[in-house]
Structure 1
Amino acid sequence: MTAEPLWCLDAVELAERIRRREVSARQVMDAHLARMDAVNPQLNAVVLALPEQARAEADAADAALARGDAVGPLHGVPVTIKVNTDQAGCPTDNGVVALKDLVAERDSPTVGNFRKAGAIVIGRTNTPCLSMRWTTENSLHGNTLNPWDPARTPGGSSGGAGAATASGIAPINQGNDIAGSVRYPAYCCGVVGLRPSYGRVPARNYSSPKPRPISAQLMAVQGPLTRTVRDARLALRVMAAGDVGDARWVDAPLEGPPAPKRVALVPDPAGRGVQPAIRASVLQAGSWLAEAGYEVEEVEPPRLGEVADLWARMAMADTIRSLDATIEQVGDEGIRRAIGFWHEVMPKCGPQDTLDALAERDAMLQDWQDFLERWPVVVMPNSAEPAFRVGEDLIDVETTRRLIAAQLPQLAIPVLGLPAVSVPTGTHDGLPMGVQIVAGRFREDLCLAAAEAVEVKAGMTLPIDPKTA
């Protein structure tokens, strides 16, 4: 029997094999760099490859093992970093032509934690201009394609990370999420995407000239995209290490106390409509969880639609408004058109609306905390539709209205700062299907345990070779 290629293995197995010296870090690195060379020209997932640096670090990793040095949990394992995240010596360009020479002088805490764990960065992944679309294209690096179907978005804004994960470029690929930017690419590309709790993973871009808007501080988090749930668990442990660079970081345990195995199933969030295949995926996941010993009931968390609507009231007069001048100065045509439609679709908000929304958020979070005492796990769609068609967010106002409505599950969770994991359930008409699993604050362990039960039954075969049509 032919041995499985190294680029097909997940991070947990690669790290174990390297530690046992069954394979060298250099062999692992060469295999993944070769896979990148084979598939990335079709996908444009990685827009800055780092082969020489990666091979040198792999050789150093092997030398450390030969000396008997203590090694981290990801020693010699390849990862990628998104181009909106500071990595020393690389541009933090955020998909913007005017920022192509903004070279970071030091690592963000996210990159620093990966390095301390022994991971090796092999490349940087694509994002839409200013990382604010649910698709991944920009005038600096071009379009990233979905390996399942090039006519469909790989998601955004971490679409490069999603495509890299699904195609075997690296087993762990970093992303960030303010409105679905980890969970949605994971859904579109048929992989696992974990959005940690607010405060769980330290983050800071030292290259940024000004502080983040308050709504971004409250909603944006760093998270991994992986092909297996166990890799997501390992990546979370690595990424969650403390760092003085982020005052929001909370030293919370990764494993909480035992909780009842009860699932609130939400096939149609807020009753606003989902496509039949989406509903079927949620019901299927509920059935699998029942087989795994969970008590499953169709019941919706409080004010779910209102929570999702609060995203716009928090962000439009704050995070989005703060981007308007930047978009005007350096944005490409895609971000100008897409955010222009957002301004027409979203409610007109001012500073007082943002303050009122923050106050309402506190009450909504308390309602959810009470609900999650009874139903510790919530399972809902990622989106009301399969992966959007490429360019759909640039058509017109009414199309944008439909797309934003479809993303209700993506918008609600950042408002509350809760953890959520996107896990695939299979495919329909050649596209990945999946669900989003949510739990209480700092209970990623509950999300991941339920996701594992779904993963076992779904039986997704990854990585995949990119489809060309």
Structure 2
Amino acid sequence: MNTDDIWRLSATELSTRTRAGDVSAEAAVQASIDRMNAVNPGLNAVVEDLSTEALTRARELDKARTAGAAPGPLQGLPVTIKINVDQEGHATSNGVTALKDLIAPGDAPVVANLEKAGAVVIGRTNTPEFSFRADTDNPLFGRTHNPWGRHISPGGSSGGAGAAVMAGIGALAHGNDIGGSLRFPAAANGAVTVKPGLGRVPAWNPSQKAERGMLAQSMSVQGLITRSAADLHLAMPSLIAPDPRDPFHAPLPWRGAPLDGPIKVAFTRNTFGYDLHPEVNLALETARDALTDSGYVVEEVEPPNAFDAGRTGYRALMGEVYAMMKQDVDAAGSDTVRQIFEVYFQEFPPFAGTELLQMMAKRSHYAREWSLFMQDYPLVLTPFLPQPFFKPDRDTEGAEGVHEVLGCAVYSYAMNYLGLPAGCVPARLAPLASGPQPINVQIVARRWREDMAVDACIAIEQRVGRFSPHLWDLMA
């Protein structure tokens, strides 16, 4: 198999070959590095090149295998890590110039778990300042571009991760999500992800000087962005391995018990007064039909109010951000990000004082409503965004821009507030005037049942196919 063929493989396809010994770890990593060297200069998705140490590690894995060591489940798979997570010896800059020399003293659990499984980190990917935009640009490393074209934002905050994996740089891309930062880049780039539920993936940064706020702890999760839905079944079991540094991690198996009878899916296209674009509606209908043909029972029925839960949750998060983070943004952020935060506080007026505590407490009310609803409907198919993905820097264009980028994304951050898992998968390649553009839908699953969300993503992907080959033809 030549180098050009290797980087095109999904993580599942590549791991089959590396575990069998048909492709060496060194060859797998070298192929991805070659691809990175070819396309990253035009994308700026990977902002720290770790090729040298990656090849050294790959050779060590090959030597250990030759000596009789059993290959790990992710043997030799090239992966990328987002720059807001600790990787020993590297800066956890979070896109902030003032943090460019914050060298991690150890690995975060996600990095340790990936490497224990045999993965090889080839680079670190870009994020916006403080990882708090749905677009990816910062003064330290500059803008990341969407491989589909510069008319589409790459999403954020894991924009470097989404652009990298879809362009063929690495088989898996690490990212994280407090309000949509895995799903926005997946939707922007036509990739697949599952936002894990609360407690599923252990998280902690050894470099951090203080604990995060309670809502940041309960809404933020670590995950992966992939080219193929099946890759999540391959890799997530390694990512969720326990780590004692996260005392609230739930050590549950990846696969839950099968449900009796066909799985019921609640289907909604309610966008709460925002215009539903015809192409998004077609994507939803394609996903609905794919699930129906795969044996799911899909019913168009309204779940509990995601708008109320989402807006309440994000206003509460903004209250915590205003109290605990605004000082850092004002001190170390660029003029651009400071202005964006001011508009955030207008779009989502922060709760404060007693009202903030009341709204944090109300989280249990919303979660209970959804838990009861999902006794009958273990999955919910929703829009992710009501419109095709927005242009770069749309969130810098005042109240109207932030409203389009985040204001209408209630199905996204509602799931962070509820702590529910949510898959995001492309269901249509829309023939827009600007060029073909992926349209993703969201699959919400019962608590602890990320595996069910991924199964549904696989069913949709089987209908529409992977989007990466279309993208690579466009990039050629």
Structure 2 length as normaliser, TM-score? 0.96
Find the counterpart in structure 2 of residue 64 from structure 1. 64
| Farther-moved stretch of structure 1 (213-222 vs 307-316) | 307-316
Find the counterpart in structure 2 of residue 255 from structure 1. 255
- Within 5 Å, give how 1:300-311 maps onto structure 2: 300-311=302-313
Shift of 1:320: 4.4
Question: For the Cα contact (< 8 Å) 1:218–1:417, is it kept in 2?
Answer: yes
| Residue 100 (structure 2) pairs with residue 100 (structure 1) | yes
Residues 103-161 of structure 1 show CA distances to partners (whole Å, capped at 9, x for unaligned) of: 10100001000111010000000000000000000000000000112121110000000
Find the counterpart in structure 2 of residue 387 from structure 1. 389
Find the counterpart in structure 1 of residue 91 from structure 2. 91
| Residue 191 (structure 2) pairs with residue 191 (structure 1) | yes
Find the counterpart in structure 2 of residue 416 from structure 1. 418
Distance 1:385 1:121 in 2: 34
Shift of 1:3: 9.1
Shift of 1:221: 0.2
Question: For the Cα contact (< 8 Å) 2:26–2:58, is it kept in 1?
Answer: yes
Question: For the Cα contact (< 8 Å) 1:149–1:467, is it kept in 2?
Answer: no
Provide the secondary structure at the position in 2 that maps to 1:143: coil
Quickly say closer, same or farther: Cα 1:335–1:18, change in 2 above 3 A. same
**Which residue identity is paired with 1:438?**
V
Provide the secondary structure at the position in 1 that maps to 2:298: strand
**Which residue identity is paired with 2:95?**
G
Provide the secondary structure at the position in 1 that maps to 2:42: helix
Residues 405-425 of structure 1 show CA distances to partners (whole Å, capped at 9, x for unaligned) of: 321111110010000111111
Question: For the Cα contact (< 8 Å) 1:393–1:399, is it kept in 2?
Answer: yes
Question: For the Cα contact (< 8 Å) 1:151–1:389, is it kept in 2?
Answer: yes
Find the counterpart in structure 2 of residue 431 from structure 1. 437
Question: For the Cα contact (< 8 Å) 2:88–2:104, is it kept in 1?
Answer: yes
Quickly say closer, same or farther: Cα 1:243–1:466, change in 2 above 3 A. farther
Shift of 1:426: 2.4
| Residue 380 (structure 2) pairs with residue 374 (structure 1) | no
Question: For the Cα contact (< 8 Å) 2:128–2:156, is it kept in 1?
Answer: yes
Distance 1:29 1:123 in 2: 11
| Residue 367 (structure 2) pairs with residue 365 (structure 1) | yes
- Within 5 Å, give how 1:29-428 maps onto structure 2: 29-259=29-259, 260-428=262-430
Provide the secondary structure at the position in 2 that maps to 1:138: coil
Find the counterpart in structure 2 of residue 455 from structure 1. 461
Provide the secondary structure at the position in 2 that maps to 1:347: coil
Question: For the Cα contact (< 8 Å) 2:313–2:363, is it kept in 1?
Answer: no
Find the counterpart in structure 2 of residue 27 from structure 1. 27
**Which residue identity is paired with 2:307?**
G
Distance 2:3 2:463 in 1: 24
Find the counterpart in structure 2 of residue 441 from structure 1. 447
Provide the secondary structure at the position in 2 that maps to 1:5: helix
Question: For the Cα contact (< 8 Å) 2:423–2:453, is it kept in 1?
Answer: yes
Structure 1: segments with no counterpart, 5+ residues? none
Residues 354-410 of structure 1 show CA distances to partners (whole Å, capped at 9, x for unaligned) of: 211122111111111111010111111111121111111011123322332321111
Question: For the Cα contact (< 8 Å) 1:269–1:304, is it kept in 2?
Answer: no
Distance 2:167 2:14 in 1: 17
Shift of 1:288: 1.1
**Which residue identity is paired with 2:127?**
T
Question: For the Cα contact (< 8 Å) 1:39–1:466, is it kept in 2?
Answer: no
Distance 2:420 2:155 in 1: 21
Distance 1:228 1:427 in 2: 15
Provide the secondary structure at the position in 1 that maps to 2:438: strand
- Within 5 Å, give how 1:1-20 maps onto structure 2: 5-20=5-20
Shift of 1:34: 0.4
Shift of 1:2: 8.6
Question: For the Cα contact (< 8 Å) 1:268–1:279, is it kept in 2?
Answer: no
Quickly say closer, same or farther: Cα 1:320–1:348, change in 2 above 3 A. closer
Structure 1 length as normaliser, TM-score? 0.97
Residues 7-61 of structure 1 show CA distances to partners (whole Å, capped at 9, x for unaligned) of: 0011122122112211111111111000000000010000001011011011101
Shift of 1:279: 1.6
Q: Percent identity?
A: 40
| Farther-moved stretch of structure 1 (143-152 vs 3-12) | 3-12
Provide the secondary structure at the position in 2 that maps to 1:145: coil
Question: For the Cα contact (< 8 Å) 1:36–1:169, is it kept in 2?
Answer: yes
Distance 1:340 1:112 in 2: 37
Shift of 1:164: 0.5
Distance 1:194 1:145 in 2: 22
Distance 1:132 1:351 in 2: 23
Residues 212-259 of structure 1 show CA distances to partners (whole Å, capped at 9, x for unaligned) of: 011101100001000111111122111100000101100122222223
Shift of 1:468: 7.6
Quickly say closer, same or farther: Cα 1:4–1:90, change in 2 above 3 A. closer
Question: For the Cα contact (< 8 Å) 2:19–2:73, is it kept in 1?
Answer: no
Distance 2:129 2:419 in 1: 25
Question: For the Cα contact (< 8 Å) 2:10–2:227, is it kept in 1?
Answer: yes
Residues 242-295 of structure 1 show CA distances to partners (whole Å, capped at 9, x for unaligned) of: 000101100122222223411111112445432121122111100111111111
Shift of 1:467: 5.9
Distance 2:400 2:137 in 1: 21
Question: For the Cα contact (< 8 Å) 1:138–1:334, is it kept in 2?
Answer: no
Structure 2: segments with no counterpart, 5+ residues? none
Residues 291-338 of structure 1 show CA distances to partners (whole Å, capped at 9, x for unaligned) of: 111111111211221111112232011034322111111112221121
Q: How many residues matched?
A: 469
